[in-house]
Amino acid sequence: MRRKLAAGNWKMNGLTDSLDELRSLARAHPDPAVDILVCPPATLISQAAQVCAGLPVAIGGQDCHTERTGAHTGDLSAEMLKDSGACAVILGHSERREDHGETSDMVRAKARAAHAAGLMAVICLGESLAQRDAANTLDIIAAQMSLSIPDTSTAENLVIAYEPIWAIGTGKLPDAAQIGEVHDFIRTRLERRFGPGAGRGMRILYGGSVKPNNADQVFRVPNVDGALVGGASLRAEDFSPIIKALSQTG
């Protein structure tokens, strides 16, 4: 029912040469059984969208402003992302919540702006190690969900990425039970808030240290509809086996 999604987050990595990785990726997956999304830095969105035009690799941004236009030096609106060829935007990544003081209220406003511009919002949630150790994970996820996800969300324009902060870029992967507990919890709350139809259709990705050698164990967990991949999305030779693993599950 839910089409799986392999999403790559290039973060602050990538120059014009990196567009070759997109060409390789598209060549390796001419007719993928899953959706593929790559979110390069904003400087590459327009070129990436041209490279991927007509190919099954969609392009997204990594952040957007809450407003459509205005005096916000250095910022980009959702409409601008859309105009440059993006169809999605990552919002509320923990690095933005930490580095830029983004609150869940801001994330919700950004997601609403993304929806208004016709973009799919990939909203990131996740607990810190201290919060997990204090057994607060589900409370944190619940609070982030109710504040970060706007009422404009549908099965088509909302994707959730559960990304435990302690797993991002660390090589530390939660075990299947830990991932499953949070994904089931998110699913239940989505169904309760948006109704069984929409709530069941919204995709929930896992993110944090997904690599070619561990992807299949992540993808076997129920309610995991794909992955948001950082480091291993930078090169087609790493991202490709992850996409293949996702295609082979369920």
Enumerate the active-site residues: 93, 163
- In degrees rounded to 5, what are phi and psi of residue 161? -120, 115
- Contact between 6 and 246 (Cβ < 8 Å): yes
Between CA 229 and CA 236, with CA 235 as vertex, the angle to 5 degrees is 95
Cβ-closest position to ligand PGA:
230
Q: Footprint of ligand PGA on this chain (CB under 6 A)?
A: 9, 163, 168-169, 207-210, 228-232
Decide whether 14 or 230 has the Cβ nearer to ligand PGA.
230
The Cα-based distances of 97 to 106, 129, 205, 207 in angstroms read 10, 15, 19, 16
Beta bridge partners of 121: 89, 158
Pairwise CA distance, residues 53 & 41, whole Å: 18
* Token digits of residue 29: 């997956």
Pairwise CA distance, residues 50 & 35, whole Å: 18
Smallest separation (angstroms) from ligand PGA to the CB of 172: 9
Decide whether 194 or 206 has the Cβ nearer to ligand PGA.
206
Decide whether 120 or 199 has the Cβ nearer to ligand PGA.
120
Smallest separation (angstroms) from ligand PGA to the CB of 82: 22
Decide whether 104 or 194 has the Cβ nearer to ligand PGA.
104
Amino acid at 17: D
Smallest separation (angstroms) from ligand PGA to the CB of 230: 2
Sign of the alpha-carbon torsion through 129, 131, 132, 133: positive
Q: What is the CA radius of gyration of the chain?
A: 17
Decide whether 180 or 212 has the Cβ nearer to ligand PGA.
212
